[in-house]
Structure 1
Amino acid sequence: MIDMPSTARAGRAPVITRERAAVALMFLMNGFLVGAWAPKIPEFASRLSLSEGTLGLMILIFGLGSITMMPVAGMQIARFGSTWVTRITAVLALPTLLLLTVVESVWTAAIAIFLFGGLIGAMDVAMNANAVATEKHMRRSIMSSCHAFWSLGGLLGAATGGVLIATIGPFGHAVLVTVAAALMVAIGWSMLLADKPHAEEAKQKVRLPMTPLPWLIGLVALFSMVPEGAVLDWGALYLRNELNASVQLSGFAYAAFSLTMATMRFAGDIVRDRLGAVKTLRICTVTAMIGLLIAGFAPSATFVIIGFAIAGIGISNMVPIAFSAAGNLPGMAQGIGLSVVTTMGYSGILVAPSAIGFIAEHVGLATIFAALPVLHIVVLLLSNLARHADGAAGGSH
């Protein structure tokens, strides 16, 4: 009898496969488009003569587009599978950055930014569903590294945007970004794992679920992502206004957080395969709580940056685990569970920062960051639900 390699004995695929590379490319492309948009915002605002308030409304419309289209994507995934929904939303998302570069009126800009947010959000649900399907196919965790590629794409888009806009202008930048994103889609197109549902799955009811399970996992995603939104939108301001840090030093607030988060996402799948999703989620949550407490009670800017870096280590793998769990719920089309959890999770980044701003006016940002770990206590209480994520890496299929 031939002795088979341990991976084959366990029924697992190699660490890197065509399907894994393809879905990682989709995450990279989606993050790249979002990252490339950030440096365009000042030019977008000046071209349309937007006040800060009107720009805030535009950014809210982006969020509303995402939240509107995510459940729609979930329903289409239940009917057609994640592969085609990922491909179609990716192709439809490609020209949106160009559209935002050429609009000349507030109303056309509002439509363009709604489409941009909506298609980015819809693609987000679809590519997460495809990552879950790929996890099941490979019988190993890949979700954390997929989210790491999203972070990497965002970093590339944001880091190159300012230089390109200054060198070749806003339109040249948009064309270059669109071509680069189109190349990523073209390379990944045929390699994506095909997961068209079986006939009986396609007939499943695609209304929003009435069972509490996806909504509870959505709460885990929401309370994991609120602190991420808080650091992104308020971290630099906290350092500058309350700890008198320089502009340069304040910039390290989100940089430290995002660097540790991206790094740990690349390591997260190995940790999760070794320890299981529940234990990994608990360790990550406690780590995030420690980091946020250090940031909230910090006597100096240096301690805040250290706190944010520790929080990034913790938060890194909380959301990928929640998404994996949502895509593996028993008796539920994966697109439906995922659309609930992604919509709830991303609303934490899109809606919470404005509420934080309102509360911070009365109590200060230090108090906000010190209080955020209370949300993570809820994540700890619900952490046993992460066991569903292990269905991807080695449960029964």
Structure 2
Amino acid sequence: MDRQAARARWAVAAMFAANGFVMGAWAPQIPLLLPRHDITKPVLGLLILVLGVGAVGAMLFAGRLITRFGSAPVLRAFSLCVIPVLPFVVFSPNLWVLAPAMAVFGAMAGCMDVAMNAQAVQIERRLHRAIMSSSHGFWSLGGFFGAGAGAYVLSHFGSEAQALAVAVVAAILVFSAMPFLIADAPHEDARTRADEKHPLLPRDASLWILGAMALFSMVPEGSVMDWAALYLKETWGSEPFVQGLAFAFFAGAMAIMRFLGDSVRNRFGAVQTMRISGLIAAAGLMGGALATTPALAIASFAVSGLGVANMVPILFSAAGNHPGHAAGTGIAAVTMVGYAGILVAPSTIGFVVEHIGFRPTYAALSLLLVVVALLAGRTAAADMRPAAAPAAA
């Protein structure tokens, strides 16, 4: 076994956990911005949009940096930049500082996201097996502890103490992982240099199709996260605890399957795993749309989580190994389109629900997942064979 790659596998897992921990800890801080800055919910919505736009807008630039310098140095740089972002937001004295702080938060987290996925692709190539799904599982695990422990510290010691504690934990994870990342060479080759005139927007249509597949995979995830609780409330009058179970079971099933997903993909291949996952996720959402009781709806959303879990990791691996493009460029493009869908999805789904209701909306979203399953053949590049692995830097 390649010992360096094996150590790097756990180092990149720590990076995913650090990113997820910061994002999870950010969630309980969001409502506190309202009284702290005396702002309304629409203004808060705009600030959150600024964070998302900052993330998506920076992703292609991160891809270009990875192409030029390699994933390891870029990941080290942006992981260091993520450490202070939550205190930067929490300690902002007014809206004039808060708005750019939110944009910086999104940009640094988004760039780190692209870099750590690109590093995971390099490790997959060295190990000749999948690690992407479990890496995303560590992100989910970090988010779980960040949200849970972060909420506890916030409620007992205040928002400022929580933000500083989060920065300390993130720093410990980042500094412990940095020495063990694979020092890959710059990803630039003759094909990427030929595209030098268009450094930010690849012209390969098949790469953008992978991006559309990521969008179709992530929008249903956002629909459960943002709207399932309201669906249970309006359809069956469920109490808040039951409402919260919809996304809890979805997220729990997704996290468990992500830790199992690499073994499944190594055994059955990316294409078959993608196809079956898409159909399972579609069946779960359709079950939620047709459910006759809250329990059945919650169980259906959990089934959907099992399917959705490995779809985005496979797409990121496919993008990172897409022929004719450097890993950073491919991942950045696909990540940007996928996360752009998450930005648009909440308001778009709300508009659709208002006009046609929850059941038809979830049924329609399940069809997006069927489309992804039908296009599963486009993820074949995610399967790395030993013969295809590049020489180590």
TM-score, scaled to structure 2: 0.95
Aligned position for 1:38: 27
| Amino acid corresponding to residue 277 of structure 2 in structure 1 | C
SS in 2 for 1:251: helix
Aligned position for 2:113: 124
SS in 1 for 2:13: helix
Aligned position for 1:109: 98
Aligned position for 1:246: 239
CA apart distance, 1:334: 1.0
C-alpha contact (below 8 Å) 1:273/1:393 kept by paired residues:
no
C-alpha contact (below 8 Å) 1:284/1:314 kept by paired residues:
yes
| Amino acid corresponding to residue 38 of structure 2 in structure 1 | S
| Amino acid corresponding to residue 215 of structure 2 in structure 1 | L
1:299-338 pair list within 5 angstroms: 299-338=292-331
**Structure 2 residue 358 is matched with structure 1 residue 365:** yes
Q: Which consecutive segments of 4 or more residues in structure 1 shift more than 2 A?
A: 12-16, 198-207, 391-397
Aligned position for 1:94: 83
How many Å separate the matches in 1 of 2:186 and 2:59?
A: 19
1:276-295 pair list within 5 angstroms: 276-295=269-288
CA apart distance, 1:367: 1.8
SS in 2 for 1:17: helix
Aligned position for 1:188: 177
CA apart distance, 1:380: 2.0
How many Å separate the matches in 1 of 2:348 and 2:359?
A: 15
Structure 1: state its 5+ residue gaps.
Answer: 1-11
The alignment's C-alpha RMSD in Å is 1.6
Q: How many residues align?
A: 386
C-alpha contact (below 8 Å) 2:187/2:328 kept by paired residues:
no
Change (3 A) 1:320 1:376: same
C-alpha contact (below 8 Å) 1:329/1:337 kept by paired residues:
yes
C-alpha contact (below 8 Å) 2:5/2:123 kept by paired residues:
no
| Amino acid corresponding to residue 231 of structure 1 in structure 2 | V
How many Å separate the matches in 2 of 1:83 and 1:237?
A: 42
How many Å separate the matches in 2 of 1:243 and 1:392?
A: 50
How many Å separate the matches in 2 of 1:392 and 1:100?
A: 44
Residue among 70, 75, 83 paired with 1:81: 70
C-alpha contact (below 8 Å) 1:135/1:392 kept by paired residues:
no
Aligned position for 1:386: 379
Query: Is the deviation greater in 207-216 or in 268-277?
Result: 207-216
Query: Is the deviation greater in 28-37 or in 203-212?
Result: 203-212
Change (3 A) 1:394 1:124: farther
C-alpha contact (below 8 Å) 2:52/2:343 kept by paired residues:
yes
C-alpha contact (below 8 Å) 2:61/2:200 kept by paired residues:
no
Q: Kindly, what percent of the aligned residue pairs are identical?
A: 45
CA apart distance, 1:13: 4.2
- Give CA-to-partner distance per residue, 1:156-202, whole Å, 9 cap, x none: 11111221011111111111110000000010010011112277468
CA apart distance, 1:203: 4.7
Aligned position for 1:213: 206
Residue among 128, 132, 136 paired with 1:139: 128
Structure 2: state its 5+ residue gaps.
Answer: none
C-alpha contact (below 8 Å) 1:328/1:392 kept by paired residues:
no
**Structure 2 residue 286 is matched with structure 1 residue 297:** no
CA apart distance, 1:396: 4.9
Change (3 A) 1:77 1:199: closer
How many Å separate the matches in 1 of 2:387 and 2:257?
A: 22
- Give CA-to-partner distance per residue, 1:58-111, whole Å, 9 cap, x none: 111111001110001000000000101111111111111001111121121111
How many Å separate the matches in 2 of 1:394 and 1:268?
A: 23
TM-score, scaled to structure 1: 0.94
How many Å separate the matches in 1 of 2:185 and 2:226?
A: 39
SS in 2 for 1:332: coil
C-alpha contact (below 8 Å) 1:324/1:392 kept by paired residues:
no
C-alpha contact (below 8 Å) 1:13/1:139 kept by paired residues:
no
